Each structure stands twice: as C-alpha cells, then as structure tokens.
Chain A
Amino acid sequence: MLMTRSTRAAGLLGGIAIAAAALFASLMFGHIPVSVADLYRSVVAYNPGDLEQLVIRSERLPRTLIALAVGAGLAVAGVLMQALTRNPLASPGILGINAGALFLVVVGASLFGLTAPTQLIWLAFAGSGLAAMLVYFLGHEPGRGISPIRTVLAGVALTALFMSFSQGLLILNQERFESMLFWIAGSVSGRSLEAVAPLLPLIAGGLVFSLLLGRQLNLLGLDDEVTQGLGLNVAQIRLLTGLMVIVLAGTSVAIAGMIGFVGLIVPHIARGLLGTDHRWLIPGAAVIGGALLMGSDTLARLLIPPREVPIGVVTALMGTPLFLHLARRVGQSS
C-alpha cells in the first residue's frame, strides 16, 4: 500500500497510464485489424471513406468511451456503497441496484417501446432508487445498524425478483429476444455516441460530486456517535451518498445494461493500492474501473471471434473468485 502523498500520486498516475494503455488497446484490437497510422489519421484527419478509420470512429470509439464512463461510474458507486454500508461485499450489482434499474428499463422498452437512453434514464433512476430503498429497509436492523449478511441476502432476493419479472417480459416479447439478452448480460456495444452523449455528463457530475464527498465519507467509517460528535450531519451525508449511488449506477445501467462485479472488484483493488482515504480512493477507483471495463471489452471482442462475449460475463468471471474470497472472510467474522 502506498502511504505518502507523493507515492499515492505516483500510484494514481500509474493507474492513469494503465487506463491510457487500455484505451489504446480498445481502439486498436478487434475483428478488423487496424494500424497505428490508421488510428492517428482517424483522430487528426478523419476520412469516412477509409474502412479502418470508419471502424475506429463509428464502432470502436463509442464503445471505448462508454466502457470508460460506465466502468468509472460503477466502480465509484461500489466505493460509495461499501463506505455507506461498511460492508466489503456491497456493490450495485450484488445489492440489486442494477437489477432494479434494469427491470424498469425492460418494462419501458418492452411495454412502451422506449429505446432512447435519455427516456430510459428516468426509469433506470426510479428502478435503482426503489431497489436501494428496499435493500436498505430490509438490511437494516433496528438499533444495530446495517447487517452485512442480511443486506447481501436482501440484494440477492431483490435481484431474483427483478430478474424474474424482466425474464417474463422477455419471453412475452420473443421478437426482441436477442437484443434484450445482450442487455441483460451487459454490453457497451451497439450504441451510438450521439444517443448516450446526454448521459455522460451525469456520470461526470456524479464522479465529481462523489470526490467532493470524500472527506465526509472517511468519517462515515467511524461510529455514528463519534461522527456526530465531530460535527457531521450523518443522515444528510448518507442521503447524498445514496443519491450519488443511484445516479451513477442508474446511468450506467441505462447505457450498458447489467454489468456486474465492477463495483465489487475495483474498490478492493483501489484500496489495496491507495489505502482507505476516500479522497484518493474515489479518483483511483474511477481510473481503474474505466481501465478494467475497457480491457474487459477488448477481451470480450477477442475471445471467440467473430462473435462477442457479453462484457458482463467477462467481469463476472473475474469477480466471482474475489467475491468467494471475501465471503469466506466475512462469514468468518460474523
């Protein structure tokens, strides 16, 4: 773990370098081979007639940027949730926040024929907000705070509930089955940059606001009495943090569907690297989350060409061992 300010800054810079490498790889590698010269020309002198440049600009660039934004959003949402619940297993995927957003998005898409992310975003917010309230209500033991195992179980139950309703809607609308399946599994492809552009500021705003909450989040780890004694309005901070989780996770789901485990893995990596200070942890998680999702997306493209693995599957396969490791630890202490 990097402790001093300068080593932490170096660690963060290293993370940015890795993210830049992932960005480069995500633009370079895929079914159609492109050269570095093509990449350079597509940025400085874009020629839509050239196939390689067209692929880079219209196909790879949108998904790379979406992966970056969604990865950063989910990772920071995970950090916030782990701070809020003091539970190392918390993440938007495991606690059912993503499933809640997905359910209302599927309702909007299949029953009302909504497709534009700008319309679906409000449904996604409503869904993730609903799930967050339910999970908090069910996981909270009066007088004893939030029980880690109970929150996880509540999340599992809510995920099962929302997913079974979504599946029912899917089976009723078999015509749109394939596109919807890809959504349930999570995907950053198949969206134009114009369609998601209005949502990217939401993620950026959420990230900046979360960073501003960093100092207060550090204090949330202490006992409630201590925090109040230090002059912090605990309820207000919790509410704001919860709102940020809803904004970040809801926007991510409205853009890319269910991508699990990013919000679980990344905070742990970032904490291992940068320590527990949220003023460092949040930017670190954003950078690493973006890098992870861009890398996973590149991997998802290369694994079984010409088909693609849903990116949510790649992240789940990476995240499951970590979850199992953490579950062994949590089960031990409780």
Chain B
Amino acid sequence: MSKTLVLRGPADRWSVRIQPAVLWVCLGLAGLLCLSALVSLSLGTYPTTVPQIIQALSGSEDLSGIRLILLEIRLPRILMAILAGGALGLAGLLLQGLVQNPLASPDVVGITSGASAAAVFTLWITGSAGGTPLLVPAAIGGALVVTVLLVMLSWRGGVSPTRLVLIGVGLAAGLSAVTTLILVVSPDATAMSAYIWLTGSLYAARWNDVFGLAPVVMGGLAVAIAVARHLDLHALGTDLALALGSSVNRQRLVHLLLAVLLAGGAVAYAGALGFIGLLAPHMARRIIRTGHVGLTVISALLGCLILLWADLAGRVMFIPRDLPAGLFVAGVGAPFFVFLLYRLRRQS
C-alpha cells in the first residue's frame, strides 16, 4: 500500500484522500497550464517576445501599447479559457459519475442546449448584438430548467442512465430547433453574433467576465473535491453505495446541481462549447485509473488546457480571422467521441 495523504473536515463532513503520484500529475499539469498560458500570452496578431512581456508587465513606460494588449485583451481571454474549460471538464466528470455512462456530458444530455436557447432568447428579447448582464442568469436558469425537465421525464421510480441519455438527446434536438427559430426571427446583426457565440468563442472576454465566472468555478471545484469520495462509492453501483452509507439520492442531487451550475456558467460566458465535458474526464481516466479526488482536479486542469489551446489555435492559425474556439474543440472532440463508441463496441 502506497502512502496517501488524507485531509479531514470537522466531524468527517468531508474528507479528501490524495496519493502522492496523483499530486505530482496535478502539479505537472498545472505547470504545463502556466507554460501554455505564457505561450498564448506571447502569440497573436501583434507578436511579442517573452522578455518584452516581462518588461511590459513590470511597468516599462515605452511598452505601454504592448502592456495594453496583454492586460486588456490577451490576459482576460486566457483566464476565461482556463475558467470555462475547467468548469466544463468538471461538469462532464460529475455527469459521467452521476449517470454511470461514459458518454454523458453537458452537451450530449442537453444542458448546454438549454443554456444556449435561454441565452439566445435573452439576446433576442433585449435586442442587443453583444452581451447583456441578463445573459448569465438566463443561461444558468436555462440549464437548470432543462435539467429538471430531464430528470422529471426520465424518472420512473429512479433514473436509468440509458433513459436519461436518450431523453437528453431528444431535449437537445428540440432545444436546438428553438434556438434556430429565435435566430431566424431576430434581426441579422443579433443573429450573426448569437451564432458565433453559439459555436463557443472567447474573443469578447473582459475582466468583468473573468471576475464573474471565477467564483463559480473556484467554489464549484472546492465542493466537487469535497464530495468526490461519494463518486468513488457510486462507481461501485447504487446498491453497494447505499450499503456503504452514501446518501445516494442526495449526493446525486448535489452532483447534478453542481454540474448544472458549472456548465451553465461556462456557457453563459464562453458560448456553447461542446465536447470538453466529454474529452477531459476520459483523458483524466487514462492518466490515473481511480480516485475521484484526483480525477476531479485532473479533469478540470485538462479542460483548461484543451480550451486554452483551442482558443490559441483559433486566434493565431487564421490571422487576421479570429475563429471560435468551439470549432477546434469539436474538430478534435467529435472524432474522439466516435473513437470512444468504437472502443465501447469492442469491449462488450
């Protein structure tokens, strides 16, 4: 038995168990994330070098132009990519643990579609081409309503994972029709900006958005780590989890609400990004086999990395065009989903 690190809260209300190996993986990924952020900070339409960045950030007067680009344009965008990616990775892990189905993710079960439909509806009602302060509550509200609907429709004396996924697929299809309907009836300028927002783009990220999303993601991550041990139990199956003393239904509710909050928040700020919630948890499971504390942190970090790189690709690959990060995520994520189905086929 290898050494493990255990943190316990008062009266065992929460406990976190970490293996040193997992800790090293987390630190390695965090280092990689910092490095990627630095690379992303230095690349763009206006190329800058690392020494220039250090000089500009340390307050050199003759580099104030670069300073402006870095602090007001690139940095908020990078932080937004990290936050939204992390939130989606985490939401995906929670949902997959919840429904015991490796194919579940916020976009497959329709949570993202609900948030998108509500957000596009808000854009249409307020008639604005850009953001409005109502967008965030609307998106989270939409995600919540769809989730409630999802659970209600798939409830037949308990939620069967298969049924949940099928119902979610149906809801996602219906909601995307609603979104298209709103796009068609709204004026062209709103429609185009809403459409770009729908594919998942970070180009309009500002500091306000970063400060808005950061508490949601940080809080979500903390709670997710604290309740991660229940996911370990649920992975053993409902009966065994109940026998081992997990309040299965209450914990499922907590996980579901957490996933909705994280996914809804990420969609509200960064648009309907698909596939991160699917990709990140799977990659995490390849790195470490079990232990949901480690999986939670690693999924979040991988989500950050995926979105950061996708956004960087969208920003620098087709200069002067700034393509939505969602395209690159989907371009990698969809083939991966197909591969996953293929592997599942081989297993059974």
Most buried by B among A150, A156, A177: A156
From the candidates B180, B185, B335, name the one contacting A307 in the complex (CB within 8 A): B185
CB of B239, distance to nearest CB on chain A (Å): 19
A276-334 CB contacts (< 8 Å) to partner B = 304, 307-310, 312-313, 316-317, 319-320, 323-324, 327-328, 330-332, 334
User: Does B153 interact with chain A (Cβ within 8 Å)?
Assistant: yes
Instruction: Establish whether residues B341 and A157, one from each chain, have CB atoms under 8 Å apart when the complex forms.
Output: yes
Q: Which residues of B contact A142 (CB under 8 A)?
A: 345
B246-286 CB contacts (< 8 Å) to partner A = 274-275
Instruction: Establish whether residues B330 and A177, one from each chain, have CB atoms under 8 Å apart when the complex forms.
Output: no
CB of B194, distance to nearest CB on chain A (Å): 11
Residue of A whose beta carbon sits closest to that of B107: A160
Q: Which residues of B contact A89 (CB under 8 A)?
A: 166
User: Does A233 interact with chain B (Cβ within 8 Å)?
Assistant: no
Q: Main SS of the interface on chain B?
A: helix
- Known A156-B169, A168-B327, A320-B174; contact A134-B338, beta-carbon cutoff 8 A: yes
Q: How far is the CA of A116 from the CA of B185 in the complex (A)?
A: 28
Q: Which residues of B contact A320 (CB under 8 A)?
A: 170-171, 173-174, 177
A-side interface residues, number (CB < 8 Å) = 53
Q: How many A-B residue pairs have CB under 8 A?
A: 151
User: Does A174 interact with chain B (Cβ within 8 Å)?
Assistant: yes
Q: Which residues of A contact B171 (CB under 8 A)?
A: 320, 324
From the candidates B160, B165, B173, B275, name the one contacting A153 in the complex (CB within 8 A): B165
Which interface class (under 10, 10 to 19, 20 to 34, 35 or more) fits B?
35 or more
Instruction: Establish whether residues A324 and B167, one from each chain, have CB atoms under 8 Å apart when the complex forms.
Output: yes
User: Does B331 interact with chain A (Cβ within 8 Å)?
Assistant: yes
User: Does A232 interact with chain B (Cβ within 8 Å)?
Assistant: no
CB of B228, distance to nearest CB on chain A (Å): 27
Q: Which residues of B contact A (CB under 8 A)?
A: 103, 107-108, 153-154, 156, 160, 162-167, 169-171, 173-174, 176-178, 180-181, 183-185, 188, 191-192, 195-196, 199, 274-275, 318, 321, 323-324, 326-327, 330-331, 334-335, 337-338, 341-342, 344-345, 348
Q: Which residues of A contact B (CB under 8 A)?
A: 89, 94, 134, 137-138, 140-142, 144, 149-150, 152-154, 156-158, 160-161, 164-165, 167-168, 171-172, 174, 177-178, 181-182, 184-185, 260-261, 304, 307-310, 312-313, 316-317, 319-320, 323-324, 327-328, 330-332, 334
Top 3 nearest A-B pairs (CB, nearest first) are A331-B163, A320-B174, A164-B330
